[in-house]
Structure 1
């Protein structure tokens, strides 16, 4: 299954019994807006998953601004959404890309390979004059059996080992915009700068008006990175790094991990250096 699917494919398969559509609409500026957007209109058959309430856990001293939720509770929500090992899951947001990619990564982390992101999101869907609804579907619960994929996850200790290793076997990618990467401006986190040794590949450069750029363009974006090397992507809180993770996968990179806590977790440890 392709990691990115187009709206034409989804339209043709919209009413397939084995497809579950997940609306990941969210706004970092207004935590209630995502659900409001869903209630206003959404793709037929879609259920809503909220970044703060469903895709993140409670904040603590460490773990970053969007830590993993309790996995057992998240699995229960997947089961309530009718998602099991045979379900093909399509995630979308309003077209920003990051929130749907976060959900896609989380299912990938749980070992569910049948998951894709809708290219262009809901804005692209609406632009095609495709059907929308306000109806919330009633779905039969099922059983989801996780198979945790540790190969896509990195924690602070993993990243610290990379920073202390001068052999450069692993590439750290900072997915934030350049001014935050350079430490020239920081509007969200308590400290400015980057994890030492990280290179900058802004996540937004992988998309154009909500649509992912073609695989050949993604390969060009990352051409300075050998596909043989391990890659760890991060951002501020593990959300906008997810589109870079997805773009790398679309470009054919196999060894990619997401530092879920990202910079907000890194700076929560006073001993960690900042460049």
Structure 2
């Protein structure tokens, strides 16, 4: 069986027990303390897991006008993943301790490379610990380079700031902002140089995608919530954004689980949008 959206702790435990060919990747990160993710990984991680850093591995070069976490080139990211041992068709299970937001970024990016066998561990690090399953610590041993090769993207082409700007006039697409309601409304926030949101955007806070136990909500519940955020548009007309193109991927994952496929990512998101003062802002 191949997992392409989420996998449960029991699924991963069974895979590891039978020696399945699975690549487990720890995506822990802290925007306020960029070194903390690796420190937590070294302290304890799932058996065999390797660590991917949001800013070093899952982002490209920051120029000051392309957002805080721009996408790397597809070819460059494919090389990165080969360096982590990724093989063509290999099952990938990604996790973190933050509700899956950083793991979802990896999920989307691997699908962007054409790799479909990737899933986010539902409940992440906490669910693994709650099941009283073993962990490891320290640096892993060397890895043999994988044979992964780029394929046709399994996601829609990322949206550009120019396309988002044009859409303000046409209204053909529905932008959905994953930030919390206060930031969306215009409350100051240390991560934002300008407060507010893209004109015409709706708001779906990514944390509302999971329950009190950190597990993703049921598909029907997610479908109802995103149906409201779509404002009558189809899933294919959705543009998902956030502060820097990370938590928007969690909304894309939740939509996929809900059967609402075809939404596209605006990778630059609010941090790119506000780097140009000529772009309009709504509060």
Alignment TM-score, normalising by the size of structure 2: 0.91
Aligned match of 2:12: 10
Residue matched to 1:74? 77
User: Could you tell me how far 1:90 is from its partner in structure 2?
Assistant: 0.5
Q: Which runs of 5+ in 1 are unaligned?
A: none
Report which stretch shifted further, 25-34 or 227-236.
Answer: 227-236
Question: Which residue matches 2:169?
Answer: 164
Please tell me whether residue 124 in structure 1 is matched to residue 127 in structure 2.
yes
| Contact 1:119/1:211, CA 8 A, preserved across alignment | yes
Aligned to 2:214: 210
Which whole-Å deviations, capped at 9, do the CAs of 1:229-263 have from their partners, x for residues lacking one? 51001001011111111101111112201100001
Deviation at 1:228, TM superposition (A): 5.4
Residues of 1 paired with 2:43 and 2:235: CA distance? Answer: 46
Conservation of the 8 A alpha-carbon contact between 1:46 and 1:137: no
Deviation at 1:130, TM superposition (A): 0.8
Tell whether 2:238 aligns with 1:219.
no
1:160-239 equivalences in 2 (<5 Å): 160-165=165-170, 168-208=171-211, 209-224=213-228, 225=230, 226-227=233-234, 229-239=236-246
Is the 8 Å Cα contact of residues 171 and 229 (structure 1) preserved in structure 2? no
TM-score (norm 1): 0.94
Gaps of 5+ in 2: none
How much has 1:61 moved relative to structure 2?
2.6
**Equivalent residues in 2 for 1:39-54 (5 A)?**
39-54=42-57
Structure 2 counterpart of 1:257: 264
1:62 aligns with 2:65: yes
Q: How big is the shift at 1:69?
A: 2.4
Residues 235 and 263 in structure 2, CA contact (< 8 A), matched pair in contact too: no
Partner Cα separation in structure 1 for residue 249 and residue 165 of structure 2? 20
Q: Distance in 2 between matches of 1:267 and 1:95?
A: 26
Superposition deviation, residue 82 in structure 1: 1.6
Any idea what the Cα deviations from partners look like across 1:47-83, whole Å, max 9, x if unmatched?
A: 1000011111221131101111243332222112221
**Superposition RMSD on alpha carbons, in Å?**
1.6
